[in-house]
């Protein structure tokens, strides 16, 4: 049986970071009391605030900032390439976009988050696809996610 390996490279962390392996995390900055579940990938240039939990099988790509007291459910996917030319931007980081998640945001399992800004005090229902900025607190569900 082959063992799964983890790569945890060049992270910055404050107190009480708990990581359940296997994971791939590189160039990420964590606040205090953060948690990362198994089978996650968190890429460089990601910042995660205090008391935030990232559950298993989630993918957080470059240029994502997540605030304090957030919850990222199982299998949540963040995307930084909108395929604006009708194809992947590949290594052309000039075409990649940023995502900014403020504090007290809860994202349900299997949601997809495109490059957007989400204000504080938001709940994203499981399986939702966030395609546009969310500027008002509340609950959002669906594809595309809409306030309910």
Tell me, what's the pLDDT at 23? 97
Tell me, what's the pLDDT at 19? 97
At residue 2, does pLDDT exceed 80? no
Q: What is the DSSP string of 43-58?
A: -TTEEE-TT-EE-TT-
pLDDT average, residue stretch 1-5: 63
At residue 3, does pLDDT exceed 60? no
Contact between 37 and 56 under an 8 Å Cβ cutoff? The reply is: yes
Q: What is the mean pLDDT of the chain?
A: 95
CATH superfamily of 7-147: Hexapeptide repeat proteins (2.160.10.10)
pLDDT average, residue stretch 101-112: 98
Would you place residue 94 in the very low, low, confident or very high pLDDT band (cuts 50, 70, 90)?
A: confident
- State the pTM of this model: 0.94
Sequence spans of domains, the chain? 7-147
Taking the C-alpha atoms of 15, 20, 26 and 27 in order, what is their torsion angle to the nearest 10 degrees? -20
Tell me, what's the pLDDT at 92? 85
Cα–Cα distance, 108 to 128 (Å, whole number): 8
Tell me, what's the pLDDT at 123? 98
């Amino acid at each position: 049986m082959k063992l799964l390996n983890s790569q945890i490279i060049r992270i910055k962390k404050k107190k009480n970071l708990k990581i359940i392996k296997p994971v791939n995390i590189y160039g990420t900055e964590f606040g205090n009391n953060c948690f990362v579940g198994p089978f996650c990938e968190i890429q460089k240039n990601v910042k995660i605030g205090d008391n935030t939990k990232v559950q298993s099988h989630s993918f957080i790509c470059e240029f994502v900032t997540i605030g304090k007291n957030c919850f990222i459910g199982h299998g949540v996917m963040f995307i930084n390439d909108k395929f604006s030319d009708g194809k992947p931007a590949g290594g052309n980081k000039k075409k990649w976009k940023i995502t900014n998640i403020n504090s007290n945001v809860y994202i349900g399992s299997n949601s997809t988050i495109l490059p957007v800004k989400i204000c504080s005090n938001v709940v994203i229902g499981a399986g939702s696809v966030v395609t546009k900025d969310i500027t008002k607190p509340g609950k959002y569900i669906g594809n595309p996610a809409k306030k309910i």
